[in-house]
Amino acid sequence: MSGEEARRQFLEWLCGERRAARLTAAAYGADLAEFLGFLIRHLGAAPSLADLGGLRVADFRAWLTELANIGNSDATRARHLAAVRSFYRFLAKRLGTENAAVSLLRSPRLRRPLPRALSAPAACSIVAEIGEEARTAAAAARDTALFALLYGGGLRIGEALGLTVGEAPLPGREGMLLVRGKGGKERMVPVLPAVRAAVAAWLVHHPDRRQASPLFVGARGKRLAAGVAQRALREFRRLHGLPEHATPHALRHSFATHLLAEGADLRAIQELLGHASLSTTQIYTAVDEAKLMAVWRAAHPRAAA
């Protein structure tokens, strides 16, 4: 049996028995066709089923190296390798052809994408002006308070929307805001006077100020959906020419990035964000380094040399 015939049987099995989505099957088929094309060049002939079983670790590494040399990213190469591994599992279970070498390969290490923060002026403009786009005075006060809390306290959108009226940070209330994060983990977050004032201004319009009521509600009086807040910011950024990554979560990234830029301690930022591990918070140091490098490349006379 040829390698191409084995590929076709694998795709039939993937679509028939595994009921894979059409786009998934198409992606696997293309990745495996590319792999077999490499083997034709590498071996000098179209591979047979026996050839597939006889490939060594060095052969697979040569294939991954070629993918890298033609510009494929780590994520793309990891996807190609996943397709080939699935193919070899099929060969072992259905066609009796095993190859231990493929299990010895390490997937390309994927770099964690850097958080995309907004500039301080852009973040401040959202807080100051987003209410201007609301249809009613109540919605304007609510949106202003919500986005002030996201940027001023570094909250996740779900954390802010999970607050009750009784937990609202208001002027005159002592202490910090208790926030319930992922996994029910609690943390204390300081709240700026301007944020407390914005929340107080929203509560004037709140239709139900009982202690257990949701702090942020929609037009029908129920807890505000995250999609409504996301849509409001999406419309605002289009009208004001902000970048596409201007989202509610970008305000949390901006909170951390701007604190770090002003000299805040990384451990303190970890506590404020509610990260379980410092390594999660350390990614913001990479953001700061990337910004410094960008400034250096733009300004240093020998940067382009």
> Catalytic one among 142, 252, 253, 258?
252
Known catalytic residue: 206?
no
Closest CA to 90 of 21, 12, 149: 12
Known catalytic residue: 156?
yes
Known catalytic residue: 275?
yes
Report in angstroms the alpha-carbon separations of 38 from 3, 27, 46, 56, 246: 12, 17, 9, 14, 42
Q: What is the DSSP string of 26-93?
A: HHHHHHHHHHHHHHHHHHSS--BHHHHHH--HHHHHHHHHHHHHTT--HHHHHHHHHHHHHHHHHHHH
**What's the gap between Cα 40 and its chain centre?**
38
- DSSP code, position 119: P
> Catalytic one among 182, 185, 291, 300?
182
> Catalytic one among 156, 187, 237, 258?
156
Query: What are 167's two structure tokens?
Result: 């937990």
Known catalytic residue: 249?
yes
Known catalytic residue: 151?
no
Closest CA to 212 of 269, 246, 166, 268: 166
Q: Which residues are catalytic?
A: 156, 182, 249, 252, 275, 284
